[in-house]
Structure 1
């Protein structure tokens, strides 16, 4: 029997969902729950969009997709079977997904087993060990992406170097041109809002190494921030979808979170970079010419090392509305 689905349980499920990655930790999602129908709805919070770096809201929808996957994990963990429909109202794409919970069906165990690491998954901006990920684990992560309708590939060493060069071009562009999104979503630790990226989560400043880790400090000097040597041969993966529509971005977000949670469960540290994907003139160059046609939605950095620092989360009361009478 599944756990009771009272208001407190609904709030806990949404709290679990909110521990998803999103661009600059903006957490651009809202949930509604109908007690009578046992249905969650996922809506975007467009006030948290990145007008400068994410003009088409691609990254926003990827973040919402990751939160949607966490919602499914949280429901399965409590014994419920989530039935998910993406864009249930094609005429109104503001409603991103609808998730109905069933107690008559068996909760998917492949989702439930990921719940223990849901709060342990963090973006790591620290150096990783120069230690290769076994091929069997790489294959398992690729299968996880395929479960959600996306493709993940590990590019060849020469293509990794090409991607790193594109990321560095994007970083140089950020330094030369002021990015108002970074100003809005980064802050000193003492400020303490429930969103964005505090300085303690920036990680060390890169001394040497080729790892594509975004430095949110830019040219700013942060007192007491150490420098570190990063891995010379970072292990990158590309998450790709066949098409590049809103529904593909949501699927990419679900695939991304499934991969990240599974990687965490298997003892890997993870980080993300969409830096080179934010500029249209660079994005097409990121794809692997030897891979099937598709659109790269995220670059992942995987390896063995520190798991990263947790970033703050918005209170559930800000992102959830409950309505309707219970059964």
Structure 2
């Protein structure tokens, strides 16, 4: 007979399949009594050079939360998620209650199957625009998680300004030795690691981190040049910035990626342009947004990209009692310190 601890371990394993910036997997889980989980950001896995506020770290944690919900539904449990960014505990992401007394949340079983088959595409494979019904499916997935999305077709007038901003962000990053050194510690790593992006998953453009300095700029391969093609791109947005908004958009992102996987669609990310405050603002102006740009990605029909490794649940689950705090410096915040999720 399956024990509750075994079910929780499987749910956490589902969470661990979430995408994360540089495959840092910046989350930890504390299992409390009676099926209560506390999800926290792990500051030891924060990319402090390119992500000093923790925006990408919390987006990654949001994707983890969505997968927890899908994994719980697969186990016949309803996962009630309360987003809990707290000015007194800046690493706290959410409190999750697993309930087996009510009907599980409504998730298509295909989304659980997509957890293990979803892949991030790296490199510049040719792609054609998505079909309109698929674009609408992806839009609905984002809206269901209370975020918004703007799609960009091959002839959209904003594409030129977007590519220009991406090129500028890439050029600026290449002059930042500390940022490139941080990239080097996570990209093109050995398959023996349980985190980071292995060299064989880098799309063929990455050769050797010591002698091939320019290849350390991940968006040269998966960024501006590929966004010049005829593929469909998407920009996920939220009304404001802050931990709660980042967690919301992370869940929206992962639901969209899982729906895309069920349709034979893969995605590649362009993160650099939104990491630089100046080029992020330029992207927002290009799309005439009165909201904040959070995630930029490009789609293609296809399958077969290399997988990236994941930590085991035992490495993610922390022992301890309710209310105890993980140690570590919290990232800076500039907005939305009091937000709560219903």
TM-score band by shorter chain is 0.7 to 0.9
Q: 1:177: which partner in 2?
A: 176
Match of 2:325? none
User: In the aligned structure 1, how far is the partner of 2:205 from the partner of 2:125?
Assistant: 14
Q: Describe the SS at the equivalent of 1:218.
A: helix
Cα shift readout 1:38-96 (whole Å, capped 9, x = no counterpart): 11110111011111100111000000110011011100111101111001756423221
Matched, 1:259 2:262: no
Match of 1:203 in 2: 203
**What pairs with 1:119-198 in structure 2 (closer than 5 Å)?**
119-155=116-152, 157-178=156-177, 179-189=180-190, 192-198=192-198
Q: Tell me how far apart the structure 2 counterparts of residues 21 and 216 of structure 1 sit (CA, whole Å).
A: 25
Distance 1:88 1:277 in 2: 22
Shift of residue 5 of structure 1? 5.0
Larger helix share, 1 or 2: 2
**Does the 8 A contact of 1:52 with 1:180 survive in 2?**
no
CA drift at 1:186: 2.0
CA displacement, residues 205-248 of structure 1 (integer Å, 9 cap, x when unaligned): 39xxxxxxxx996269xxxxxxx999722321000001111100
The change in CA–CA distance for 1:229 and 1:139 in structure 2 (over 3 A counts) is closer
**Matches of 2:189 and 2:29 in 1, distance apart?**
29
Structure 1, unaligned runs of 5 or more: 207-214, 221-227
Aligned partners of 1:124 and 1:242: how far apart in 2? 28
Aligned residues: 305
8 Å CA contact 2:183, 2:216 repeated in 1: no
Does structure 1 residue 87 correspond to structure 2 residue 84?
yes
Residues 5 and 239 of structure 1, relative CA distance in 2, 3 Å threshold: farther
Q: TM-score, normalised by structure 1?
A: 0.85
Question: Which residue in the other structure is 1:300 paired with?
Answer: 297
Cα displacement (A) at 1:318 = 1.5
Partners of 1:77 and 1:187 in 2: how far apart? Answer: 34
Give the one of 70, 88, 95 matched to 1:98. 95
Is 1:19–1:118's contact at 8 Å kept on the other side of the alignment?
Answer: yes
Question: 8 Å contact 2:236–2:294 — kept in the other structure?
Answer: yes
Q: Please tell me whether residue 311 in structure 1 is matched to residue 308 in structure 2.
A: yes
Residue matched to 2:64: 67
For the structure 1 residues 200 and 305, does the alpha-carbon distance in structure 2 shift closer, same or farther, using more than 3 Å as the test? same
Separation in 1, partners of 2:49, 2:254: 25
Q: Could you tell me how far apart the structure 2 residues matched to 1:68 and 1:162 are? A: 33
The 1-side partners of 2:216 and 2:97 are apart by 47
3-state DSSP of counterpart to 2:14: helix
For residues 17 and 103 of structure 1, the distance between their equivalents in structure 2, rounded to whole angstroms, comes to 19
Match of 2:243 among 236, 241, 246: 246
After superposing on structure 2, the runs of 4+ consecutive aligned residues of structure 1 that deviate more than 3 Å are 88-91, 126-130, 187-190, 228-231, 288-292
Mapped partners of 1:219, 1:104: distance in 2: 50
Deviates more, 1:61-70 or 1:168-177: 168-177
User: 1:188–1:244: structure 2 CA closer, same or farther, 3 Å change rule?
Assistant: closer
- Going from structure 1 to structure 2, the CA distance change for 1:67 and 1:139 (only over 3 Å counts) comes to same
Are 1:38 and 2:38 matched, yes or no?
no
Q: Deviation per CA, 1:183-208, whole angstroms, max 9, x where unpaired?
A: 21124436x211111110110339xx
| Post-superposition offset of 1:262 | 0.5
Give RMSD over aligned pairs: 2.6
How far the C-alpha of 1:304 sits from its partner, in A, is 1.1
Q: Which segment drifts farther, 314-323 or 80-89?
A: 314-323
Indicate the residue corresponding to 2:25 in structure 1.
Answer: 27
Q: Which residue number in structure 2 is paired with residue 211 of structure 1?
A: none
**Paired residue secondary structure (2:157):** helix
